[in-house]
Amino acid sequence: MPESRHPDACRIGVVFIEAQLTTLYAYASLLSDWIERGAPPPDFAKAQTLLARKHSHPEAHTHSEDGTPTKGSPQEDALSWPSFDTADKRIAFALIVPCTNAILAVAEYFDIRRLSASRAPEVQFLMRLRDAAVNGNTFSLAADEYRPHAAYAGLIVDDTLDGTLLFSDGVRPGFIEFGDTVGLLRYLTKLLKSMQSAISSGDAG
């Protein structure tokens, strides 16, 4: 397990989070154009150019359901855009996935580097968002369960959130929005930079 009390853990973390932020900004730009066009279902046929870019050879690595190798490639199920009856539901679906991915990625980095043990309220906030994200976008917070204080910018995770949504599903409100995800990640980069400076100063002393 990598040692967290090393400036590289913080430095690499900053680079990692900033990459997530850049991707979220790019996605938000594309999504804004999509929303202005009425949020139409995307044409998945246009994805084939990028899907064709791969180094693997699936036809040489195929198995039946019981694990027995087969000679031919199984037919892949075609994906389609989910059917939503309102624009709010379509937009919510499009927003949840990138935010959830960023939260899971950064929380995993904090776990691997043992940074998640920090009692900084914003770090604990990130980890509770992670828990909700992997629980079907829903908080599960028992009233008698001990949890370190988890807060960010006036938002507090406590047992009153039990059973509520992390992100809106287009019908019910969510605890946070796209911009909150970006704001939290930006704050965490500042936190890691300050931790890196403190560790480096301690080593120098």
**How much is the mean pLDDT over the chain?**
88
Task: Select the more confidently predicted residue: 101 or 48.
Answer: 101
Task: Give the residue-averaged pLDDT of 147-173.
Answer: 97
Helix (H) or strand (E) holding 155: strand 155-156
Q: Is the pLDDT of residue 205 over 50?
A: no
pLDDT of residue 38: 87
Comparing 100-114, 148-162, 189-203, the range with the smallest average pLDDT is: 189-203
**pLDDT, tens digit (0-9, with 9 covering 90-100), for 135-158:** 999 999 998 889 999 999 999 999
203: pLDDT strictly greater than 60: no
CA distance 50 to 190: 34
Buried b (16+ CB within 10 A) or exposed e, 87-119: eebbbbbbbbebbbebbebbbebbeebebbebe
Domain ranges of the chain: 7-37+89-204
Chain centre to alpha carbon of residue 78: 25
Q: For residues 157 and 125, what is the distance between their CA atoms, to the nearest angstrom?
A: 7
Measure the CA dihedral 171/172/176/182, to 10°.
Answer: -10
pLDDT of 7 higher than 80: no
Using 50, 70 and 90 to split pLDDT, how confident is the model at 130? very high
Q: What is the mean pLDDT of residues 86-109?
A: 95
Read off the pTM.
0.86
